[in-house]
Amino acid sequence: MSANLAKWRRTPPLILYVGLIAILVLSLAPLIAFVRVAAAHALDAGAVAGEQGFNAAFANLMRFFASIPGSVVLKSLRFTILQSAASTALALAIGLPGAWLAARFDFRGRRILLALAAIPFCFPPILVILAFILYYGKEGMLSQLYALVGGRPHEYQGMLYSFWGIVLVHAFYNFPIAVHQVSAHWMRIPSSQAEAARTLGAGRFRAFLAGVLPQLLPSVAQAAGLIFLYCFFSFTTVLVFGGRAGTTLEVQIYQALRYQSNLPLSTVYSAIETLFAFAGIYVITRKSDARKSQMADYGRIQRRARAAGAEKLAVLAYEIFIAIFFLGPLAAIVVEAFRVPASFGGATKFGLGNFSRLLGGFQAPLIPALISTLKLSGLAALLATFFGVAASASIYSLEKSGRGVALARAIETSQWLPLAVSPAIMAYGWLFLSSNHTTSYALVAAQAAIAWPFVSRSLHAALRALNPKVREAARTLGATPLKSFVSVELRMIGPSIAASAAFAFSITAGDANVPLMLGMNEHETLPLLLYRLTSAYRFNEACAAGLVLGLMTGIVFLLKEKVIDVA
Amino acid sequence: MMRTKYFIATILLCGAFIAVGGSAWAQANQPGGPELTVWTYDSFISEWGPAAQIAEAFTKTYGIKLRFVSKGDGGALLSSLMDPTKMPNADVVIGLDNNQLEKALASGLFTPLKLKNIGQIQKNLLIDPSNRLIPFDYGQFAFIWDSQSGIEPPASLEDLTNPKYRKKIIIMDPRTSTPGLGFLAWTEAVYGNGWEGYWKRLAPSVLAMTPSWDTGYGLFTKGEAPLVLSYSTSPAYHKAYENTERYKSLQFKEGHPAQIELAGVLATSRNRESAQKFIDFLISSECQAFLPETQWMFPANAATKLPPSFAVAGRYPALSGTIQDLDRDPSEAANLIVGTP
């Protein structure tokens, strides 16, 4: 062993600590800034002349707590939990059959089915919402289909603007996660136990219950936990469809921030959210550990049989189901983008009319929106990549050296923050930190904060997968630790860095939450334009803009599955 | 392996190139000359809205460019102005209304204006004697009914609570939109302190409570419900664009409150002179002529001639109503609708 390596083992460079502490501070700073301003608001609220000092502040605080609309808070909490639970259940119901097919059989379209897992990450919710309105709405394609098979279009009752509408969108949006995660696990479960059960006389179903299901549960629970969390924090879908059915906590935060300017109240909502999210994350990480140790036991992937007979029929039925109910809406966007609706007695045409209106009409919004998306989200993605590389490299080095493990764990934990804290709070926190409260800075910072953990986690996995011998070889040849890291490890994970940078861009470019929460209509990004066109019912132009956005964020589809896997 | 690498590198390079080139291009395209930033609501700058015509005519005459920024609906517009965390960076605000007047004036954000054309405005519309918020159009709230829906038209607010209208009505959110606020004022005028009881009774009839008028009326024309909260002038739109009288405004026996839409100049504007010119232009008979068939409201300027399509616009007995507590009532009302069966 070279002297260099021994030295590295003893004392990881100071810069590592500095970098990691900087990351920790940067992820917590906006939260602290937000809570500070919110507390100041709560203490100052309704300050009357003559009342001063601690007593007045205390009285104000009490007044604030008394003013919290308890019944509204409870009602939205109940709705949030109910819709998340229903959405998760439906997503699993749609996803598990697919997971089984993909794990056990080879068939045409299997890889596409697994690749659908990229959709929740690379197609922004606003695009999927648009697709569902076009497809499931009262004048949508499904209603026309219904009319074709004999039903009167009047009888088709749209259900989008209701509780079940929200659940439907959530379930279809997230079911690919279940397919992907559960099948990855299922593929490795050996059939020996189930076969043993069968030789003992158990039926197929009993054998499955005894031999496969217990081992499958951790991955199902993990997927369910993740989907539940995504639905728990769902914002745009509920904003569009939930006007009547109910509001999630996230929408309440939005109302409190944008329409009541009530920062303390939004803090209360978000604290409740975070408590629940932590519980969810606890489940996910626990199950993830269980799953990993199981997977390590099984090791290799089981052989898949070619689907035949009844199985082939099952595969076909499943594929048709997914194509009609999930891919259909997405295809509708493409069709509608080129359909120019009839106006002034003219007939419906197909062409580029929608695009040209966005490019040349009043205030020609498409190009400026494209540019601000590239500029703001591009910058956010770059920042996220930078922090992701720095964080994963530091954690990796600390792990190797065996020192500062507590710090490494702290960073790993802080990677969960974006899943546990409302993006609205992050965005406003950065707003308060920026001088003059500049929204574009806040947007870039908040989006980077949301995206960097994805980068960091996938790079960490890539680093761990490297063969340690290469690194040691470089050291024995006399490279300093830093030099060997840059010239060997960093170079080897180069493609992973590029892939996760693109992934970060997909997340930030498709994000409508942060700009909506910040109310930043001055720099209209593509998702904001899409939201504006959708809510003004200019669907065809919305589809044209959506197609542009989809092509941009869809870049993730070209990436290796691995990135999605880790995410 | 190598090919993937090159491929991804190329994509990233292209991305970087587009970003850099794009931002340079955007910088180069920064408009020269004076420019006014106008905050307004969605439908004002939508494809059918008046913003494009107004901008063209104003820029032609005065050489001053206009940049319109939509803030959602009128409720969102006032919230953005009052946001304690951010100073509004607009010069002109278009689209507040009579229900928001008191709160908007109390904010001290608006500056008094001296306008040449103010004498042409109908006297009863001048509700701000300090001339800080200037009326530019007005209308009456009314429900619009799809006569081909097979549903009987209601004749009063109370009728709307009838079980036969279950999930048949679209209203707007009083927290975020001015028509929603107007509806709240309507119910407060008719039911006094009993308005909350009315909203409770109304809840089952409401299919959707949309954040903006645009969304609600879009849902209605897409056939999702046969009744929508709008204006007595809305049928004129369908007459002009679709030559149909299928959509009718309904007269209610309780009377109809008016909406007076207001515009003003922010005291913080660095272009107050130009902004004042713009407001003067907005109420001039030249500009007012654009409004009937884009805003689908009555013009505030008494000298403006109405187009033929307005023959189908309703004028109903007036009802004056105000909202008792603008900070509390809209949230209360919305919470009575959201999440109830």
- Chain A interface test: which of B14, B25, B47, B290 (most A C-beta within 10 Å): B47
Q: Tokens for B16, please give them.
A: 């970087």
Residue A457 distance to chain B (closest CA, Å): 20
- Contact state of B176 with A519 under an 8 Å Cβ cutoff: no
Intrachain domains B35-138+259-305 and B140-257+315-337 with the same fold: yes
One domain for residues A486 and A567: yes
Q: What local confidence, expressed as pLDDT, does residue A564 receive? A: 52
One domain for residues A383 and A238: no
One domain for residues A557 and A504: yes
Asked if the model's pLDDT at residue A510 lies above 70, the reply is: yes
Which has more pLDDT, A475 or B202? B202
* Partner-chain residue, chosen from B22, B71, B212, that has the shortest CB–CB distance to A535: B212
Whether the CB-CB separation of B121 and B283 falls below 8 Å is answered with yes
Which amino acid is it at A432? F
One domain for residues A204 and A259: yes
One domain for residues A178 and A104: yes
Residue B120 distance to chain A (closest CA, Å): 30
CB contacts of B214 in chain A (<8 Å) are 535-537
Q: What is the CATH number of the domain that holds A126?
A: 1.10.3720.10
Over range A285-305, report the average pLDDT: 72
One domain for residues A305 and A358: no
What separation in angstroms does the CA of A204 have from each of A194, A199, A209, B284?
Answer: 8, 11, 9, 82
Global pTM value: 0.83
DSSP state of A106: E
Q: Please count the structural domains in chain A.
A: 2
Closest listed residue to residue B314, CA positions, set B237, B250, B266, B219: B250
Which has more pLDDT, A478 or A509? A509
Which one of A307, A337, A367 terminates a domain?
A: A337
Q: What local confidence, expressed as pLDDT, does residue A154 receive? A: 54
CATH architecture classification, B140-257+315-337: 3-Layer(aba) Sandwich (3.40)
* Partner-chain residue, chosen from B70, B83, B218, that has the shortest CB–CB distance to A521: B70
Per-residue pLDDT reduced to its tens digit, A447-459? 998 888 888 888 8
Per DSSP, the three-state class of A114 is helix
Q: How confident is the model at residue B31 (pLDDT cuts 50, 70, 90)?
A: very low
Q: Which domain holds residue A381?
A: 1-15+352-567
One domain for residues A142 and A74: yes
Per-residue pLDDT reduced to its tens digit, B32-71? 567 899 999 988 987 778 998 999 999 999 999 999 988 8
> Which residue of chain A is at minimal alpha-carbon distance from B2?
A495
Whether the CB-CB separation of B327 and B106 falls below 8 Å is answered with no
Q: Is position A97 within any domain?
A: yes
Whether the CB-CB separation of A552 and A400 falls below 8 Å is answered with no
- Contact state of B339 with A76 under an 8 Å Cβ cutoff: yes
Asked if the model's pLDDT at residue A107 lies above 80, the reply is: yes
Instruction: Give the burial class of A230: count Cβ atoms within 10 A of its Cβ; 0-12 exposed, 13-18 middle, 19 or more buried.
Output: buried
Residue A262 distance to chain B (closest CA, Å): 10
> Which residue of chain A is at minimal alpha-carbon distance from B211?
A243
- Chain B interface test: which of A163, A259, A262, A385 (most B C-beta within 10 Å): A259
Q: What local confidence, expressed as pLDDT, does residue A195 receive? A: 74
Q: Is position A287 within any domain?
A: yes
Q: Is position A60 within any domain?
A: no
> Which residue of chain A is at minimal alpha-carbon distance from B177?
A259
- Contact state of A75 with B339 under an 8 Å Cβ cutoff: yes
Half-sphere exposure of A372 (CA within 13 A, CB side): 20
- Contact state of A260 with B76 under an 8 Å Cβ cutoff: no
Share of chain B above pLDDT 70, in %: 90
- Contact state of B22 with A247 under an 8 Å Cβ cutoff: no
Q: Tokens for A197, please give them.
A: 């059960």
Q: How confident is the model at residue B2 (pLDDT cuts 50, 70, 90)?
A: very low
CB contacts of B212 in chain A (<8 Å) are 535-536
Residue B54 distance to chain A (closest CA, Å): 11
Residue A230 distance to chain B (closest CA, Å): 21
Share of chain A above pLDDT 70, in %: 89
Q: Alpha-carbon distance A28 to B25, whole Å?
A: 36
Per-residue pLDDT reduced to its tens digit, A51-95? 566 777 777 777 777 777 778 899 999 999 999 999 999 999 999
Closest listed residue to residue A454, CA positions, set A385, A513, A375, A373: A385
Which one of A304, A337, A370 terminates a domain?
A: A337
Per DSSP, the three-state class of A464 is helix
Q: How confident is the model at residue B100 (pLDDT cuts 50, 70, 90)?
A: very high
Whether the CB-CB separation of B186 and B257 falls below 8 Å is answered with yes
Over range B90-119, report the average pLDDT: 94
- Contact state of A244 with B337 under an 8 Å Cβ cutoff: yes
One domain for residues A210 and A303: yes
Q: Alpha-carbon distance A244 to B145, whole Å?
A: 20
* Partner-chain residue, chosen from B42, B55, B224, that has the shortest CB–CB distance to A532: B42
- Contact state of A537 with B214 under an 8 Å Cβ cutoff: yes
One domain for residues A113 and A226: yes
- Contact state of A378 with B75 under an 8 Å Cβ cutoff: no
SS3 per-residue string spanning chain B: CHHHHHHHHHHHHHHHHHHHHHHHHHHHCCCCCCEEEEEECHHHHCCCCCHHHHHHHHHHHHCCEEEEEECCCHHHHHHHHHCCCCCCCCCEEEEEEHHHHHHHHHCCCECCCCCHHHHHECHHHCCCCCCCEEEEEEEEEEEEEECCCCCCCCCCCHHHHCHHHCCCEEEECCCCCHHHHHHHHHHHHHHHHHHHHHHHHHHHHEEEEECCHHHHHHHHHCCCCCEEEEECCHHHHHHHHHCCCCEEEECCCCCECEEEEEEEEECCCCCHHHHHHHHHHHCCHHHHCCCHHHHCCEECECCCCCCHHHHHCCCCCECCCCCCCCCCHHHHHHHHHCCCC
CB contacts of B1 in chain A (<8 Å) are 495
Per-domain residue ranges for chain B?
35-138+259-305, 140-257+315-337
Distant-in-sequence, close-in-space partners of A95: CB < 8 Å, separation ≥ 6: A175, A176, A177, A178, A179, A182, A223
Mean of the per-residue pLDDT values of chain A: 81
Beta bridge partners of B92: B38, B265
Q: Tokens for A43, please give them.
A: 């203490």
Question: Number of Cβ pairs closer than 8 Å across A and B?
Answer: 158
Q: Is position A41 within any domain?
A: no
Q: Alpha-carbon distance A280 to A453, whole Å?
A: 17
Q: Is position A311 within any domain?
A: yes
Residue whose pair of structure tokens reads 């029929």 in the numeric block = A313
> Which residue of chain B is at minimal alpha-carbon distance from A37?
B85
CATH 3.40.50.11270 assigned to B35-138+259-305: no
Q: Tokens for B167, please give them.
A: 């999930």
Q: Tokens for A407, please give them.
A: 């710090």
One domain for residues A332 and A361: no
One domain for residues A438 and A524: yes
CB contacts of B4 in chain A (<8 Å) are 495, 560
